[in-house]
Amino acid sequence: MLLVTLAKFSIVFLLSELKQPLKAMQYARTTPRFFRIWKKLSTRMGFEPTRAEHNGLAVHRLNHSATSSHVLHVSRCSTLALTFKAKMVDSQYYLPNDIGISALDCGEAFRLLSSQEKMYAHYLSRAAWYGGLAVLLQTSPESANIFVLLQRIFRKQTPAQLEQVATKVGLSSEEYKAFLVYAAGLYANMGNYKSFGDTKFIPNLPKEKLEALVRASQAFQDQPADMEALWKSCSCPLYSLEDRQKQLGLGDKGITTYFSGNCCLEDAELAQRFLDSKKLSAYNTRLFKKDNGGKACYEVRLASAVLKDCAVDGECESCCGNFSFEDKEFVVKRGDYSPLMEKVSYNLQQAETYAANENQKKMLKEYQRSFTLGSIDAHKEGSRYWIKDKGPIVESYIGFIESYRDPFGSRGEFEGFVAVVNKAMSERFAKLVGSAEVLLPELPWPREFEKDTFLKPDFTSLDVLTFAGSGIPAGINIPNYDDIRQSEGFKNVSLGNVLAVAYATKKEKLTFLEEKDKDLFIKWKGPSFEVQVGLHELLGHGSGKLFVQDDDGKFNFDRSKVINPETKEKVSSWYRGSETWDSKFSTIASSYEECRAECVGLYLCLSKQVLSIFGHEGQDGDDVVYINWLSMVRAGLLGLEFYTPESKSWRQAHMQARFVILRVLLEAGEGLVGLEEVTGEDGKPDARITLDRSKIHTVGKDAIHRFLCKLQVLKSTADVEGGRALYEGFSTVSDSGAHNFMRLRETVLLRKEARKMFVQANTTVNGDSVELVEYEGSVAGLIRSFTERFQGDAEQLEASLLDLSKRDAPCWCC
């Protein structure tokens, strides 16, 4: 009875004290364990027990479990949980003020280019930057409006000038820094959802203070009516953290602008069947479901400069029109992102003048046709010329490329990059390409499951000049068109100046490792990742055969002889006609393929021949292998940040893949990988990962061998059911079994570090020469780079973005 009375008193006291977050934190440290019971109760209510912040002040939920003696207090403690939750916003929806920001250095590489090459790079960069603005419209309904709001503010006042205004309207220095970090984050991610993880981020300062700053800005003073309308159009969604708006997703699982708000998974599947029937790719499309007299009508919209749906110059017939399919009406239309695609095409035409050879000229002509007409076939033709353009000094690629952020996994996000070859590092990758035909047979699947001929690709290390899109990867293997990759080839690139800064690690920020591993990790993380990227891109994404029956009934494998090594029976399933890897495996395709490529990297890095190519011999080679595998299992644990318990879904393909690999290696047993929950030196929950390096070549290799073979066989045979069962099984995050991954997720979120942002240079034409404009690696530098990027036509461009956003605004309501 005394216990109950004390508990009641404590709850009342806490309810009043939690109005002040700092007191809540101090009280949490001193309250006896039996009073601190809301953590588990709130988890049962569906809340995420994670690190949180309120007005810039970090508040941590308590880390003690409830016991059976607390059952009497469920009602009161649920109220407490709700009150406590209401006082805080989870820190995963903020970008911290100390977020890392680095400038991508390409100055020396650019200066070594000829005048012609600089002009070529300049116009390709302009095309990429203009096209990259489409990502705002591909991300969320409000992203374009927020972008325009920020551009107008910072075109009138630099961050330094605006700071004086912020001080006058009552913002603290930390609050103003939070605003700048938010602005930089929106530019770096091309929208208000993280490119890596797909969670929303909001400004880490009160809404009323941001509104005061906006209204006091010079931009607002000069155009009060326009700025008022712009603020009203985006201020609510800018801060909203309603459940559906917390992450990207389809239907009630999140926000997407690849589909209208009334679309669900069944609509996406129906549309894919329709596209397959018309032999249309989904890469450059969006889907809008509309009501036509009580009957559902689907609009498939193609990204193109041309608005006409009839055949135009250069076309035999148009793919546009009205169609009936499965008792539903479909209309295929052109004109998505039209003003942006027009600018992309124009700048590609300008670049053509400075092309180095016929392959580049033909490539650019096809790209222009693709962005003008909305033709993926033209883009594929351009990609064929791109593959033939071996060893260019200025490398580039542009288009609707990666399907990671489409909830259905078929539509491509726009990206474009321009980069300069790093000759020294490229020599190593060339040696790896030369060894590929020796290394491929070492992979664990039968010869029949490998491509008939390995088409040696270009593999170069590049210093990025421009990477327009939602984020910058470390390496790329493209094109993504299966038919081209299987029979004509592909290219690999490693982005050297990204690798140089993205994965630099400070010892004090290294989480979840034993102290004895940290110095070795810092020393070899970069070199080991370089090896992993090379193997992942070239022999991961570049390996494996898809069994296909074409439209004429012809098979690309011998059905009478090829045996499935998992079932010991003849292969009984395959891809038919226009079916592709993405269209068949849809929602798991991206992550599954990243997992397969990561496993290839782990498996082949054990080869002394591979290590020697990268200059690692003896003990150094052993250390590179150890850190590569240790990095992977640590990344698997870190991947829990990107899992959403409420929807039981993953928000990032690569991190899901790494978690799957962690699960595989944990299940291998025999002490290969250890994962333990501990208490950190700060008294908060922590975890420790260990890897027995003596068992990597035995237990570890055997586990990856078995798993990798299964992944490839299921992929080759188009066994969607088997592939889903395997992959989703290892992707499961639960609170039962040997490891409580749900609780470990709390720990990961408690100790997570924000992903770095990059500042990129601009190029300007001055007479007959091109100048490189570089910026400092800071929030101010990142903001300045964007405001100067579109100076020549800023007002026209912003008006176009607002028009495009306004036109589709009614489509996002469910």
Catalytic residues: 537
State the chain's maximal CA–CA distance in angstroms: 88
Per-state percent for the chain, helix, strand, coil, to nearest 5: 55, 15, 30
Residue 162 host element (H or E): helix 159-168
Q: Is 479 helix (H, G, I), strand (E, B) or coil?
A: coil
Q: How far apart are CA 265 and CA 271, in angstroms?
A: 10
SS (H, E, C) 544-570: CCCCEECCCCCECCCCCCCEECCCCEE
Q: Is residue 489 within 8 Å of residue 525, measured between CB atoms?
A: no
Q: Provide the token pair at 118.
A: 């600089």
586: region left, alpha or beta (phi > 0 left; psi from -120 to 50 alpha): left
Chain CA centroid to CA 500, Å = 20
Q: Whats the size of the chain, residue-wise?
A: 814
Closest CA to 530 of 422, 659, 417: 422
Q: Provide the token pair at 614.
A: 């990268």
Write down the residue that tokens 């036109």 correspond to.
807
Q: Is residue 15 within 8 Å of residue 80, measured between CB atoms?
A: yes
Q: Is residue 97 within 8 Å of residue 178, measured between CB atoms?
A: yes
125: region left, alpha or beta (phi > 0 left; psi from -120 to 50 alpha): alpha
- What single string gives the DSSP state of each residue in 490-555? -EEEEEHHHHHHHT---GGG--SB-HHHHHHHHHHHHHHHHHHHHHIIIIITT-----EE-TTS-B
Q: How far apart are CA 323 and CA 309, in angstroms?
A: 14
Q: Provide the token pair at 482.
A: 């299966």
List, in sequence order, every beta strand (DSSP E) within 603-697.
643-644, 649-650, 673-679, 685-691
Q: Are strands 575-576 and 548-549 parallel, antiparallel or unpaired?
A: parallel
Q: Provide the token pair at 719.
A: 């066994």
Q: Please name the amino acid found at residue 44.
A: R
Q: Is residue 304 within 8 Å of residue 335, measured between CB atoms?
A: yes
Q: How far apart are CA 138 and CA 403, in angstroms?
A: 11
197: number of Cβ within 10 Å: 22
What is the CA angle 396-413-312, rounded to 5? 80
Closest CA to 393 of 120, 761, 129, 126: 120
397: number of Cβ within 10 Å: 22
751: number of Cβ within 10 Å: 19
Q: Is residue 510 within 8 Å of residue 533, measured between CB atoms?
A: no
CA distances from 196 to 168, 193, 506, 651, 811 (A): 36, 9, 21, 8, 26
Q: How far apart are CA 4 and CA 16, in angstroms?
A: 19
- What single string gives the DSSP state of each residue in 752-783? --PPPEEE--EEEEETTEEEEE---SSHHHHH
Closest CA to 659 of 629, 687, 636, 631: 636
Q: Which residues sit opposite 576 in a β-bridge?
A: 549
Kindly give, in sequence order, each residue whose CB lies less than 8 Å from that of residue 453, ignoring residues fewer than 6 positions away: none
Q: How far apart are CA 362 and CA 371, in angstroms?
A: 14
Write down the residue that tokens 């004509």 correspond to.
488
